[in-house]
Amino acid sequence: MTVQPLDISGAFLISSRSFSDERGAFFEAYREDVLTEVLGYQPKIVQTNYSTSHRNVLRGIHGAAVPPGLAKFVTCVRGSMLDFVVDLRTGSPTFGAWDMIVLDGRGASSVYVEEGLGHAFVALDDDTCVQYQLSELYRPQDVVTVYPLDPEIGLPLRLPDAPILSDRDAAGPTLREAVERGLLPSYAACLALRAARAQPPVGSDAPVAS
């Protein structure tokens, strides 16, 4: 398994080697030790969700308030999708920028999205199934939603038909409106959360970097 940083800091592509024979295929989807070595802290997973989507369904852009924050480990287990990471952290050098990865159920890849980043995807096939592993329990009051068709963000959907959105996503504020309303997490708060997670637990004999 390999972990590759994406262009947006705090987002990573996780890829595994798939082993195939006459029975089918096998690959590792998640390795805590490998991800920990890259992140500098042990990832936390407390909840796993699944969604199924018709072709052209667009979900997102979704993030969460920091604190508490909500990291996601996203895997396409069936179908295919365009997966987007959007930097929603005010004050970030890449604020408002995005990165895109194609994920599908035949590949052996996932995306890890740290706290403070936004996530969205559009299903390219009917019955596309996506697994989300979350670092915190889902709390609706902490959810941050940004309008996914905001031209200022400019996600390259390249769809033959108009995307299908939930009422909540369709009514989400633009990036500019979310800033004006104080809805977005700050880059400083996200860095502080990351630094705190990288510290050894109290009473640990592990050395602290100077």
Catalytic residue among 112, 132, 147, 187: 132
- Does residue 210 carry a pLDDT above 50? no
- Does residue 206 carry a pLDDT above 70? no
199 located within any domain:
no
Contacts 24+ apart (CB under 8 A), 138-141: 138/47, 138/49, 138/70, 139/68
CATH number, residue 83 = 2.60.120.10
pLDDT tens per residue across span 25-72:
888 889 999 999 999 999 999 999 999 999 999 999 999 999 999 999
Instruction: Enter the tokens of residue 29.
Output: 């989807």
The total domain count for the chain is 1
195 located within any domain:
no
Tell me if residue 41 is catalytic.
no
Give the pLDDT of residue 25: 84
Catalytic residue among 30, 41, 50, 62: 62
- Number of Cβ atoms within 10 Å of the Cβ of 92: 22
Tell me if residue 62 is catalytic.
yes
- Does residue 144 carry a pLDDT above 90? yes
209 located within any domain:
no
122 located within any domain:
yes
Q: How many CA atoms, within 13 angstroms, populate the side-chain half-sphere of residue 174? A: 8
175 located within any domain:
yes
203 located within any domain:
no
Show the domain range for 100: 2-184
Nearest residue to 53 via CA among 119, 160, 125: 125
The mean per-residue pLDDT over the stretch 176-186 comes to 98
